[in-house]
Amino acid sequence: MKYRGIFSFKDFYKFCYDWLTEETDLDISEDKYSEKLIGNSKDIDVKWTGERKVTDYFKFEIKVEFQIRKLTEVEIEQGGAKVKTNQGEVKAKVTGTLIRDYDGKFEKDAFRKFLRSIYEKWVIKSRIDQFEEKLFGDCDEFLGQAKAYLALEGKR
């Protein structure tokens, strides 16, 4: 997702974090947050990892990367009053991974690895497809919500 325009970085950050924790029930950890001052603007990089155990065997993992470039403070008129906000460019990238056997129960020896391949290929194939579809749907929905949020912010 790419966006260029007016938005409040603080509000956008909070919206994204809240949406991921409330709508997808992920536990989010911030792996990276860096700011670089360039003249009167900032470049910000943010990386999050969100995880949620779905069953004893499956876990959802979503990685989110934000790149905010040329972020500056601007003053706009909103409802007859002057309001401080930001202007800049936002790039967001989301990657979803369905982690299987996250505890490594089937990784102890060659026979168990063999059983795992049969289990995944024949016994729970439809469940894997179902969970992957749900995970990728959540990723798409998040990007759609973030894009819609920025579009609304820019029209104010």
Per-residue pLDDT at 68: 97
Helix axes 125-155, 9-23, angle to 10 degrees: 150
Per-residue pLDDT at 32: 97
Per-residue pLDDT at 100: 95
Per-residue pLDDT at 94: 97
Domain residue spans of the chain? 2-155
Per-residue pLDDT at 83: 87
Range 81-97 burial, b when 16+ CB lie within 10 A, else e: eeeebbbbebebebebe
Residues 6 or more apart whose CB falls under 8 angstroms from that of 107 comprise: 101, 113, 116
d(CA 130, CA 9): 35
Q: What is the pTM of this model?
A: 0.90
d(CA 39, CA 145): 32
Q: Which two tokens stand for residue 134?
A: 């749900």
Count of CB atoms situated within 10 Å of the CB of 57:
20
Nearest 5°: phi and psi at 13? -60, -50
Regions in the chain scoring below 70 on pLDDT: 154-156
